Amino acid sequence: MLNTMIDAHVQCLENLKPMAPVLKTAGDMLLQCLLDGGKLMICGNGGSASDAQHFAAEIVGRFERERRAYPAVALSTDTSILTAVGNDYGYREVFARQVAGLGRSGDVLIGISTSGHSENIVRAVEQAASSGLKTIGLLGKDGGTLSRLVDQAIVVDSATTARIQEAHIFILHYWAWLIESGLPQTHGDPV
């Protein structure tokens, strides 16, 4: 079984090669947002929430080189907001409400969903669009509803959630590298 899983993983990553132009376009959108003084907002459920946190940490902290911190927030991290909004407005609004409160024109929202149908991600993207944010969908399977709503859809062509998630973290690492490559170099204290 291990060899089968490795082969499927490698094939899923190989399938990203023809997507190089769209992956670069999305990464450039993220870089330009930060260079223009905007922030990145990332949301997802379950493993995708972990990916959102991972990516935000690499933007605020660092990926591979010392540099100043840049603004990125994973919308899945504040349990008080998640539970208050979930209780008062319903789970479908837990990310949209944060986008409404924190998002500004010029920011970028990344919605991560292996199915492309997560209702709370759909609502966040709709709120982002009405608030003037650009949107990227990091998706799987056929892209689902989200592929038609976002400004830039990145669809990993796989039916297996684990393979999609493995490709998503690879893409997020590529974007972190692309962003750092385009950010100004700093010397001395990284803060």
Check whether 88 is labelled as a binding-site residue: yes
d(CA 72, CA 40): 4
d(CA 24, CA 40): 16
Check whether 168 is labelled as a binding-site residue: no
Check whether 120 is labelled as a binding-site residue: no
Sign of the CA dihedral with 175 first, then 30, 21, and 158 last = positive
Check whether 83 is labelled as a binding-site residue: no
Check whether 58 is labelled as a binding-site residue: yes
Beta bridge partners of 139: 113, 155
Check whether 76 is labelled as a binding-site residue: no
Check whether 165 is labelled as a binding-site residue: yes
Check whether 45 is labelled as a binding-site residue: yes
Check whether 173 is labelled as a binding-site residue: yes
76: phi then psi, degrees, rounded to nearest 5: -100, 5
Check whether 4 is labelled as a binding-site residue: no
Q: Which two three-digit tokens encode residue 31?
A: 């870089």
Check whether 181 is labelled as a binding-site residue: no
Check whether 117 is labelled as a binding-site residue: no
Q: Residues marked as binding for substrate? A: 45-47, 58, 87-88, 113-115, 118, 165
Q: Residues marked as binding? A: 45-47, 54, 58, 87-88, 113-115, 118, 165, 173
Q: Residues marked as binding for Zn(2+)? A: 54, 58, 165, 173
